[in-house]
């Protein structure tokens, strides 16, 4: 990741080039230790390694080239922002960096200390000028999913050129659906204003098919992980989901389908990344943004394999497709609204469907246990951890709840807890 | 407060009588130290002392007597729940205890540790069976103002007989107003179901006039505090606002107007609770529920006097009246919706009106400085503390931001900080 062939690009984006290169060097080392050290990886992982190595390089160059032709770039932090609309407006849709402890000190000058590391991360990346994606954005879209983000966008918005905050309601009653429907329309209008393009029914229909295809590829990958031995590591599968937020959607879909072909071959041969019978774990909870690979690394170096991610960077983003049977604009906007209102985010109350989803997923993936991952100071998922624990106990599924942040100080303690948990499953 | 003449009553309510008596003994001592020790109190403070001494006694007896005649009791935790509707349904509306560290250990068995003390308090009061109000309730109404409360009600709801959660939106756009309008109607329907009474236009009009009168009395008190010397201590004024959530609204209004008459006489004589020229402070931020008197006590024993409370137990609850010019049901429900949607809670984004309100209030009350009070782990007000600080600095108003909880461990440290701040104002 630390190839300074892109230095001129980063200078043009007014990054803090020195700090940025130092960050890339650390991440490169981290990636080598966590990813490149794995045995029995798929050939298709070459795509993942390449994308990651060029995540701040070639992909940014590609985005800048598109900008030079008049394309606009929209940055987001949440799976509630309908990518279908962004693409239909002819813009590029990217998920923004929020997985590393960088710029935290600067972030704490405008955010409370009791803010989760994901929020501190994106604010820090901006204030410390470390993220070429943020600097490439023509519009940044926030949302009201949690208090931390909702209020952070007020301060963050002052440091970016254009900010749009999408309101996500608290419940799923008809009045909430109506509110979110109006928010979908308001986002559509913001995109039309930004790009100068009118979002037509045909363009939205096509974009919806594109995003559905991406989600289908991710669903295919998720289902293949039910095989024992596990055909892909949890780390690599998480990386696939992380990359789905950055790469061109059509290229990504093609690559992941090729990866899935390879996985099918591997399954047919009875091969995998770990021995058959290796304890299988489902991770549930907060999203793990690039390069937040700490817990997956701990789990998979403790004698277990991760077979699913019940999180926004995982199942929560891929479970539901948009109905494309209606092809008129109103029908498509209705279908988008309905699809996004199905998301089982902890921001909703009561959100009991999430408990059912986790139990079903654990069954489908033949998971031997569930680890709930909460980011320190993330209140919505911290509350749900209690509920998930109760539901898993009732379902007879072994359960471990972990709360941590982006720091490395608790690595040893976490490893001890995870190893002890894995031991009970063997 | 610790009169065991009411022991039979508490036993009937299935309180943990022993722990409850211990709690009352502590509170009685605390009240004596903080309230009864004050010099130059108003005669009308006798009402406050009496209500507080009987807050778990005679008032509960009165509520139980009303219940015996078929009245229903509704308990709430937030100023967004329209008292007008509760009264129009012929029910009693009470704010529930949330200001003491009691039952916290029990609360932490179902809540994350990074939950504010206000939430831990009401959950703890219930789980430890310490609050006769909660035990008297036929319906408890929560709301979605913050992540902590929204998610806590899911666990809390399982331990109470009937729970209704009112959805408060995140923004103030037309779609939010429509959502809250439907929530007002949903609450009305819940009350009608609970009480068996239909809420008529006439009943709602009358109830609205009753609640407006209560708010007018509190507004009158607030305005009188602009006088120098300050005619009433901040502690007593806070207590008035706290009691407004417990006592019968009509009796309360009468008593507070009598208190205001006395204050006017005092002002005419140039008398007050502190010398003219004593540094005057406005408290802004989180609500201080009974018996959370820690910070006011520290401030007023540090050479300053508090002249206003910009909080839910203060201005945020009393600033706006409901328009009663329309007398039909739809018109009244619209007026209620509009009034409640004016509340400048930190749950809204962007909520810039709050900054204007604080600046205006500081001017009106001739405050020499503003102290922002944040409850540890309250994310919405922690974020706003940064914004208030910036706005006060721009307005040239001295500003101090304090974050604390219900513990007494930081009393010394807080006193040092407050004294240093007050010194800069003298």
The DSSP code sequence of B137-194 is -SEEEEE-SSHHHHHHHHHHHTTSS-EEEE---SS-SHHHHHHHHHHHHHHHHHHHHH
> Best mutation site among B111, B114, B116 for testing chain A: the one with the most A CBs within 10 Å?
B114
State the sign of the Cα–Cα–Cα–Cα dihedral A304, A222, A370, A395: negative
- Encode pLDDT of A217-267 as tens digits: 999 999 999 999 999 999 999 999 999 999 999 999 999 999 999 999 999
How far apart, in whole angstroms, are the C-alpha atoms of residue B192 and residue A166? 35
Cβ contact, residue pair B179, A176, below 8 Å = yes
- Encode pLDDT of B169-200 as tens digits: 999 999 999 999 999 999 999 999 999 999 99
A-proximal residues of B, 28-57, CB under 8 Å: none
pLDDT of residue B28: 95
Locate tokens 């941590």: which residue?
A: A404
Average pLDDT over residues B102-106: 92
pLDDT of residue A2: 46
User: Phi and psi for A143 in degrees, rounded to 5?
Assistant: -155, 170
Nearest to B150 among A112, A170, A178 (CB): A170
Cβ contact, residue pair B179, A183, below 8 Å = no
Q: Is A163 at the interface with chain B, CB within 8 A?
A: no
Average pLDDT over residues B150-177: 97
* DSSP per-residue codes, B225-279: TTSSS-SS-HHHHHHHHHHTTTS-HHHHHHHHHHHHHHHHHHHHTT--SS-TT--
Query: Nearest-CA distance from A201 to chain B in Å?
Result: 24
Q: Residue B6 pLDDT > 70, yes or no?
A: yes
* DSSP state for residue A277 in the 8-state scheme: T
- In a 13 Å sphere around the CA of B274, the CA atoms on its Cβ side amount to 22
pTM: 0.97
pLDDT of residue A414: 98
Q: Residue B3 pLDDT > 70, yes or no?
A: no
How far apart, in whole angstroms, are the C-alpha atoms of residue B146 and residue B130? 25
Return the CATH class of domain B4-205. alpha beta
Tell me the angle at which helices B147-157 and A379-395 cross, rounded to the nearest 10 degrees: 30
Strands B163-166 and B280-285: unpaired
pLDDT of residue B36: 97
Cβ contact, residue pair A154, B110, below 8 Å = no
* DSSP state for residue A36 in the 8-state scheme: I
**Residues with Cβ < 8 Å from B50, sequence gap 6 or more?**
none
Which residue(s) pair with B147 in the sheet?
none
Low-confidence ranges of chain A (pLDDT < 50): 1-2
Nearest to A112 among B171, B174, B379 (CB): B379
Average pLDDT over residues B26-47: 96
Average pLDDT over residues B251-256: 98
CB A267, CB A46: distance < 8 Å: no
Cβ contact, residue pair B379, A346, below 8 Å = no
ipTM of the complex: 0.96
Q: Residue B362 pLDDT > 80, yes or no?
A: yes
Q: Which residues of B touch A174 (CB under 8 A)?
A: 182
Q: Is B185 at the interface with chain A, CB within 8 A?
A: no
């Amino acid at each position: 990741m630390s190839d300074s062939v892109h230095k001129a690009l980063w200078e043009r984006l007014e990054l803090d080039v020195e700090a940025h290169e130092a960050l890339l060097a650390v991440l490169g080392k981290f990636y080598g230790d966590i990813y490149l050290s794995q045995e029995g990886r798929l050939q298709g992982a070459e795509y993942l390694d390449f994308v990651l190595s060029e995540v701040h390089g070639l992909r940014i160059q590609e985005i800048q080239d598109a900008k030079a032709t008049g394309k606009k770039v929209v940055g987001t932090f949440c799976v509630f922002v309908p990518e279908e609309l962004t693409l239909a407006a002819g813009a590029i849709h990217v998920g923004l960096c929020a997985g590393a402890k960088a710029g935290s000190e600067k972030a704490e000058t405008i955010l409370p200390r009791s803010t989760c590391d994901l929020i501190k991360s994106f604010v820090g990346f901006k204030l410390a000028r470390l993220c070429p994606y943020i600097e490439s954005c023509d519009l940044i879209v926030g949302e009201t999913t949690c208090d931390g983000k909702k209020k952070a966008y007020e301060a963050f918005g002052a440091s970016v050129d254009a900010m749009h905050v999408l309101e996500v309601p608290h419940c799923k009653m008809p009045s909430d659906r109506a509110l979110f429907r109006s928010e979908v329309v308001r986002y559509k209008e913001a995109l039309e204003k930004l790009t100068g393009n009118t979002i037509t029914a045909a363009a939205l229909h096509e974009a919806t098919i594109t995003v559905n295809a991406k989600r289908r590829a991710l669903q295919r990958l998720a289902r293949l992980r039910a095989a024992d031995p596990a055909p892909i590591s949890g780390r690599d599968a998480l990386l696939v989901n992380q990359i789905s937020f950055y790469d061109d959607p059509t290229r990504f879909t093609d690559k992941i389908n090729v990866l899935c072909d390879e996985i099918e071959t591997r399954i047919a041969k009875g091969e995998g990344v770990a021995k058959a019978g290796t304890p299988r774990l489902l991770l549930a909870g907060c999203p793990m943004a690039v390069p937040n690979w700490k817990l997956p690394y701990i789990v998979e170096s403790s004698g277990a394999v991760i077979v699913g991610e019940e999180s926004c960077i995982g199942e929560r983003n891929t479970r539901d497709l948009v109905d494309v049977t209606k092809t008129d604009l109103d029908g498509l906007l209705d279908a988008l609204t309905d699809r996004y209102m199905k998301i089982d985010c902890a921001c909703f109350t009561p959100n009991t469907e999430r408990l059912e989803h986790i139990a079903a997923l654990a069954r489908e993936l033949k998971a031997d246990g569930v680890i709930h991952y909460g980011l320190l100071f993330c209140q919505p998922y911290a509350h749900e951890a209690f509920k998930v624990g109760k539901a898993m106990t009732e379902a007879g599924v072994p359960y471990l709840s972990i709360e941590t942040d982006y720091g490395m100080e608790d690595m040893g303690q976490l490893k001890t807890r995870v190893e002890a948990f894995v031991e009970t499953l063997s």
